[in-house]
Structure 1
Amino acid sequence: MGFFIVFAMIFMQIYTMRSAKVPAVIVFGDSSVDAGNNNHLQTVLKSNHRPYGRDFFGGKATGRFSNGRVPTDFISESFGLRPFVPAYFDTSYNMSDFATGVCFASAGTGYDNATSDVLSVIPLWKEVEYYKEYQKKLRSYLGEQKANTVLSEAVYLISMGTNDFLENYYTLSDRRSQYNINQYQDFLGNIAGSLIKELYSLGARKISLGGLPPMGCLPLERTTSFIAGNGDTCNEDYNKVALSFNGKLGGLVKRLNGELSGSKIVFSNPYAIFQNIVRKPSAYGFETAAVACCSTGLFEMGYMCDQYNPFTCSDANKYVFWDSFHPSEKTNRIISEHLFKTVLSKLLS
C-alpha cells in the first residue's frame, strides 16, 4: 500500500472520529459483513485473494466477500466513523482501532450452530465469547467508565440467516427431519431473540437486527434453477421463506423493544430495496443481476473465484453481484445508504 494511500486513510480516520455520531460500530454475522476473520481459520471459505478486494482501499484482498467494502463499512462511515470496520482477528489492527469499531462476523455462519459446522467457521455463540473478551480488553485500554460508555452508546449490527437456509436447511437433511420450514424459522428467531437479550445484558442498547435479502435471486440459486429446467429465474419459494422470516424478525424487534427497558432496537430489512435492484438493475446503473462479475458469474465464490480466471468482468459497478452469493460493492453501498436513511439513523435520536 503506497504512502499517500496510508496517509489518506489515517487522515480520514482522524477526521471521521472527530465528527462521529456514535462512538463505535460492533458487528456480528456472516459473509455479508465478515471483514476478514475467516482468514485465520482452517476453512475453505476464504476470500483473502485477488480479485476480491480489488476496489478496496489500496486494492487489498482483506477477506471481505466483495470487490470492495461490505455494508457495515458504509454504515460505519455514515455514523461518522472510519470508512471500514476491522476484523477482530486481523493482527494489523489493535485496540486503538477496535475502540471505534470491530467485526466478529464469520463467513458461512448462521444463527444455528449446525450451520457453522458445515464449513468449520465461527459459530454465533463463539462470536459473542470473542465480544466478551473484547469488552475486557476495551476496559483495560480505555478505563472502566469510558469503556462502558462506548459499549452502551455503540451501534450493534447483526447480519446473518441466509446460510441457515441455503447452506444448512435446504442442503442437509438433519434440520429438515426435525422441523418443517415454519418451525425452523421459529427456531432461528428464538436464537436471534436470545442473542439480542444477551447483548443487552452485556450493555448493548442500540441494536440493528438485519433481515434476509431475496435469497432465491442469488446467481447461484438462479443457476440451480436453470439446471433444474426452470429457466433463468429466481427461486420464488426461497424468496417467500425470506419474506416470512423477515416478518417474524420484525415482530421480534417490536416485542423486544417493549421488554428491554432503555433499548432501541431496529429491524434493518434489505429485502425490498434489494428486490428492486434485482428486478430493475438498469434503474440503479447496473447492466445485469442474473450473473455475477467474478469468473462465469454462475456458481463461483471463495477459492473458485480467483485472479487467474479469464472470465471475470473488468467493471464490477455494472454488476449487482460480485460473486455467485455476494453483492458488489456498489450494491452494498446503495442498500446500506438506503437502510441508514430509513432505519439506522433512528439510532441517533
Structure 2
Amino acid sequence: MIFLIVFAFIIIQINTIESKIPAVIVFGDSSVDAGNNNHLQTVLKSNFKPYGRDFYGGKATGRFSNGRVPTDFISESFGLRPFVPAYFDPAYNMSDFATGVCFASAGTGYDNATSDVLSVIPLWKEVENYKEYQKKLRAYLGDQKANTILSEAVYLTSMGTNDFLENYYTLQNRRRQYNVTQYQDFLVKIAESFIKQLYSLGARKISLGGLPPMGCLPLERTTSFMIGNGNKCNADYNKVALAFNGKLGRLVTQLNRELSGSKIVFSNPYMIFQQIVRKPSAYGFETAAVACCSTGLFEMGYMCDQYNPFTCSDANKYVFWDSFHPSEKTNRIISQHLFKTVLSKLLS
C-alpha cells in the first residue's frame, strides 16, 4: 500500500511538471549544441565516433560529448523528452520541436567575432532562426496554442567560454580594443540585449547560464604545463570566469526588476564544477586532469576521432570527455544540481 501511494505521488508530480513546462528552447555554444553544426561548413563538428558512443543507439548526433549534454538532462527533469533535438536536424519536424528545440552552435559566443573564428552560427542568427521557428509553430498549432507554448516554455542559454578562450585570449583584435574587464562589460551588454529580445518575442521563463572554471579545462591545464606552470588550472582564467559570472548575476537581478512578468534565473555551474574538478573521487571519477578522448590533453572535434587508439574505455571515470567538454556523467551531475537549486524555481 505504501509503495502504491508513493508511486501515485511520483506520477502526480511528473504530470504536474509536464503540465507546467510545455517546451525547452535552447541557445548557446558547444556546451548545448545538439547537432546544428553538422549542417554548416565548419571544422567544428562532432558527428562521428567516438562522440555519442553512450548516447541512445550509440549515435554521434553532433553533441560534443560521449552522450547527452546538460540541456538534455534539464529537459528530462522538466518532465519532457530526455533530449532536445537540433533545429537543423532533418530527422525531426515541428511535432518534435513543439516540446523542445535547440538553436545552439558549437564555437559561438555573445560576440559576433567569436562565431567568425570557425564560421559557425552567431547569436543574432540563432535568434533569427528562433523567429522562423515561431512562425512555423504557429502555422502548425495555431496562434493560441503556439503562443501559450512560447510564453510558458523554459529558455536555456549557455555561452561565453568561447568569447574568452577562442577569441579574446587567442586573437589580438579584441585585446587591442578592450582590457579584460571592459570586454566582460561588452559581453554583458550583449547578453542584456539578447535577453530583452527574447522577452520581446514572448519568452518569460529564462535561464542565463554562467561560465565554468574555464582555466581548469584540460586544454588550459596542458597549456599551463607547456609554459612551465605544472599541470594546474589557469588561475587567471578562473578569476575572469568568476568576475564575469558576478556581472551576469547582477544583470539577472536587474532584468527581473525591469521586465514585467518575467522570471529569469542565473544558472551558475562554477562552484559545483570546481568541486568536481578539485575532488573528482567524491563524485565517482578517477581523474579531472586529462580527458577520456585520446590523450585528453588537446583533442576536440576532428582531433578526437574513431581512428585514435587511445580513447578510454569508460568515460564515467573521467570528468572530461575531450579537452574542452565534460563527459556525460559530469553533465548529468551539474544539470541535476542546477535543476534542484535554480531551475526548479521556474516551475512555480
TM-score range, shorter chain: over 0.9
1:18 positional shift:
9.2
Query: Scaled by the length of structure 1, what TM-score is found?
Result: 0.95
Q: Does 1:136 align with 2:132?
A: no
Q: Is the 8 A contact 2:114 2:166 kept in 1?
A: yes
Give the aligned partner of residue 331 of structure 1: 330
Give the paired residue count.
Answer: 335
Paired amino acid for 1:213: P
Instruction: Flag the 1:46–1:72 CA change in 2: closer, same or farther, 3 A.
Output: same
Map Cα deviations across residues 254-287 of structure 1 (whole Å, 9 max, x no partner): 0000000000000000000000000000000000
Q: Is the 8 A contact 1:17 1:81 kept in 2?
A: no
Q: Secondary structure at the match of 1:266?
A: strand
Q: Secondary structure at the match of 2:319?
A: coil
1:20 positional shift:
5.0
Instruction: Flag the 1:248–1:48 CA change in 2: closer, same or farther, 3 A.
Output: same
Give the aligned partner of residue 148 of structure 1: 147
Give the aligned partner of residue 26 of structure 1: 25
Paired amino acid for 1:26: I
**Equivalent-residue separation in structure 2 for 1:211 and 1:240 (angstroms):** 13
Q: Does 1:78 align with 2:67?
A: no
Give the aligned partner of residue 68 of structure 1: 67
Q: Secondary structure at the match of 1:208?
A: strand
Instruction: Flag the 1:54–1:31 CA change in 2: closer, same or farther, 3 A.
Output: same
Alignment of 1:237-252 (within 5 A): 237-252=236-251
The answer for unaligned runs of 5 or more in structure 2 is 1-13
**Equivalent-residue separation in structure 2 for 1:49 and 1:137 (angstroms):** 30
Q: Is the 8 A contact 1:33 1:159 kept in 2?
A: yes
Q: Does 1:208 align with 2:227?
A: no
Q: Secondary structure at the match of 2:148?
A: helix
Map Cα deviations across residues 60-91 of structure 1 (whole Å, 9 max, x no partner): 00000000000000000000000000000000
Paired amino acid for 2:31: S
**Equivalent-residue separation in structure 2 for 1:86 and 1:233 (angstroms):** 36
**Equivalent-residue separation in structure 2 for 1:340 and 1:175 (angstroms):** 35
Query: Scaled by the length of structure 2, what TM-score is found?
Result: 0.95
1:16 positional shift:
8.2
Map Cα deviations across residues 191-216 of structure 1 (whole Å, 9 max, x no partner): 00000000000000000000000000
Give the aligned partner of residue 40 of structure 2: 41
Map Cα deviations across residues 211-257 of structure 1 (whole Å, 9 max, x no partner): 00000000000000000010000000000000000000000000000
**Equivalent-residue separation in structure 1 for 2:16 and 2:45 (angstroms):** 30
Instruction: Flag the 1:327–1:20 CA change in 2: closer, same or farther, 3 A.
Output: farther
Q: Does 1:117 align with 2:116?
A: yes
Q: Does 1:292 align with 2:281?
A: no
Give the aligned partner of residue 157 of structure 1: 156
Alignment of 1:174-323 (within 5 A): 174-323=173-322
Instruction: Flag the 1:158–1:18 CA change in 2: closer, same or farther, 3 A.
Output: closer
The answer for unaligned runs of 5 or more in structure 1 is 1-14
1:19 positional shift:
3.8
Give the aligned partner of residue 4 of structure 2: none
**Equivalent-residue separation in structure 2 for 1:159 and 1:297 (angstroms):** 23
Q: Is the 8 A contact 2:17 2:78 kept in 1?
A: no
1:338 positional shift:
0.1
C-alpha RMSD of matched pairs (Å): 1.1
Could you list the structure 1 runs, at least 4 aligned residues long, displaced by more than 3 angstroms after superposition. Answer: 15-21
**Equivalent-residue separation in structure 2 for 1:140 and 1:243 (angstroms):** 43
**Equivalent-residue separation in structure 2 for 1:111 and 1:209 (angstroms):** 12
**Equivalent-residue separation in structure 1 for 2:15 and 2:96 (angstroms):** 13
1:308 positional shift:
1.1
Q: Is the 8 A contact 2:17 2:347 kept in 1?
A: no
Q: Secondary structure at the match of 1:289?
A: strand
